[in-house]
Amino acid sequence: MQPLQPSSNIVHFDTSRLQQPAEILPLPLQGLSGCPKSVADLYRQLSQQLQTSLEVEQLLEMFFETIKELIPVDALQYCHAETNLHCAYGKTEAVHRVSYQLNHQEEHLGELSFQRSQRFDEHQLSQLEALLRCLLFPLRNALLYRSALLNALRDSLTGAGNRIAMEQTLAREIELARRYGQNFSILMLDLDHFKQINDRYGHPCGDEALKAVVRQVQSQLRSVDMLFRFGGEEFLILLSNTDAEAAHRVGNHLCESVHRMQFSAEGNIVPITVSLGGAAYRPPETLEELLCRTDKLLYQAKHSGRNQLCMAPC
């Protein structure tokens, strides 16, 4: 392990460096009381605590709150791009940071950073690195669990959410809207003349077109918005905390963005456009009523020339 300066330098862990050091091998917790006084005590405490959850966020919060008993840390941040997970604990305005890339063999387990107002000294860095050893494998198990859950709610072709995820998410949004008056809108999107792409270039090309549209749409959405595959070449977009006026702007922007997208097949540029129907939720309507209302607007957009949005009035 190379020395790490208290900034944004990165240390890569491999399996050999993740072995538990002999001086802090886990021992029975009997006899421990109050706050741990050494990294060995803290290691034993964390080793037990981190076996109690498969939720990444809960693991990291336990880790952050426990290590503060020995090492002053103002904030912890974690990012795992593969599962779109970003977590932050504590006061993140601290100016000094030390970061670690967590890897097990060739498996990337995310980036973890510690922040505080004062620089970390070499002894504190050594303590942090020792404690990270007891986090890594519980974290790996939690990420595997998270990936399994995500895959169960994800369309296998495009990576968008599937129908089950869509229904669960919209049911939750409707409950929040009814209870707290929180706005949300949905956009129903359909690829124009998709059958012609399949007929001319084949279904594999059609699959690539679907994936390209999903990537383009997702790149234009906020992190709080969600995209679901509704069926075939039809998708649904959930715009959280968004009224009809704002959803109208988003829908027009998505329509233009897909139209500008460059997609090629067999050396030819294949123009792709989408039609959209959009509506803001109106309590106390049901999910079925909202979807039916939006579907009618999508039908209107397709039969009014395509490559456009039809939005329900505010």
| Cβ neighbour number for residue 197 with a 10 Å cutoff | 24
Name the token pair of 287. 């999910």
**Which one of 65, 233, 288, 289 is the catalytic residue?**
233
Given a contact cutoff of 8 angstroms between Cβ atoms, the answer to whether 256 and 307 are in contact is: no
Active site residue 233: yes
Given a contact cutoff of 8 angstroms between Cβ atoms, the answer to whether 54 and 142 are in contact is: yes
12, 48, 109 from 15: Cα distances, Å: 10, 21, 13
Q: Which residues contact 2 (CB under 8 A, 6 or more apart)?
A: 11
Rounded Cα–Cα distance for residues 148 and 151 (Å)? 5
Name the token pair of 247. 């959803």
Residues classed as catalytic: 233
